[in-house]
Chains A and B, each alone.
Chain A
Amino acid sequence: MATAIPIATQRSATGIPTGKLALWWVIGSEIVIFGGLLASYLMMRLMYDSWSDAASHTNTVAGAINTFILLTSSLFAVLAHDAAERGKGPQAAGYLLLTIGGGLNFLVVKAIEWTGEISHGFTITTNTFWSFYYTACGLHGLHVIGGMICMGIIAFDAVRGKNLQRVEYIGLYWHFVDIVWIFLFPLIYIAK
């Protein structure tokens, strides 16, 4: 008996594969989530000079290292997509594992950074700046973890040459997470 193919995968009203279109809509909704958060930060930052003082305590080196890590993991994600386009499932899976490794490194640096901040008394309840810091970075970190889990599942399939189109989809998501960090970095770590 043949496996049923969901109707959604066989039609494309926009000329874009349904799964990919759905992923773009996810990214669209994420723009509003992170955009709202960043816009709120911007308002408070421009309103209160004191936020500049609070921001002076953030760890720029950790932020820069994490930016480097995410940019590099984005390179691996696009190379995974490139390999999938060529039908090279195992190679795509390999690049996806490297991307997951980038995510792990990001989280390790973040954990070290947070440990330092908390040990110096800067917690989520210290003031509104630090509330924003932990909320924004925490939400972003959750997206990194979610992306790594999905990537692991997709890599498991990709190594056997299955569902290779999903390599591109998870790559799009990962690049978006990278872009969010690209904006968080100057806002939180550089503008002091």
Chain B
Amino acid sequence: MQEEDYQLIDRYLAGQLNEKEKKTVEARLESDPSFAEAMQLEREMALFLRQQPQRERLKEQFATLGEKYFTEPPPARKEVRILGLSRFQWLVAAGFALAVVAGALLFTQLQQPLYEQYNQHPPLALTEKASDGVNLSQVEQAFNTGRYQEALEGLDQYLAAHPDDLTAQLYKGIAALELKKYEVAIPIFDALRQSGSDFQDYGAWYLALTYLRQGDRARCRALLQQIPKSSELKGRAEALLEELG
């Protein structure tokens, strides 16, 4: 597709072509699949822009209604089956269980803390954004090389001018979490979790990691369970849930 093709499509959709030009475009839609595809995408982009304010309003409303109408049923109790074992079998089983417990304890001590097995963050990429005096590539570099204090300061500065930028908010939260500034991280992740945006699952995931790092496994577990199956984070959430037991 050439630049002129896009201009032609724009003018066609804006109703700016004369009859003859319109006929030429319509004939080309029939004969040229890539032209037809480009036209379709332009229509979708226009539709998106038209509907976006309404989508945003609906998202907010859905978040409220969702909490009200989708409530978790009380968990079903797992049936515990007690097998009929002889006294000798019990002794063997108990010995085996002790060995397993001892092994598990040793193994856990040798392992890194759970948080550090799960705190691999996606790299920060901000240079696409308008900067207003903040050197964004420096902020990116600081974050991506683990200089979180510097990244946090840069992100704060950037967010002062762009308070609605969800990507920057998320990364500010991560930087704060890494610095153990939980009082900064928690409200950010919690707001993202309830934002109804693409970032809501990340909000829940990082809030869960924050609680994990604070040692609050119950809240961590509850949040992980909220991550829907369709989320790209589901796999990690399930793995962590398993480790939490």
**A and B bind:** no
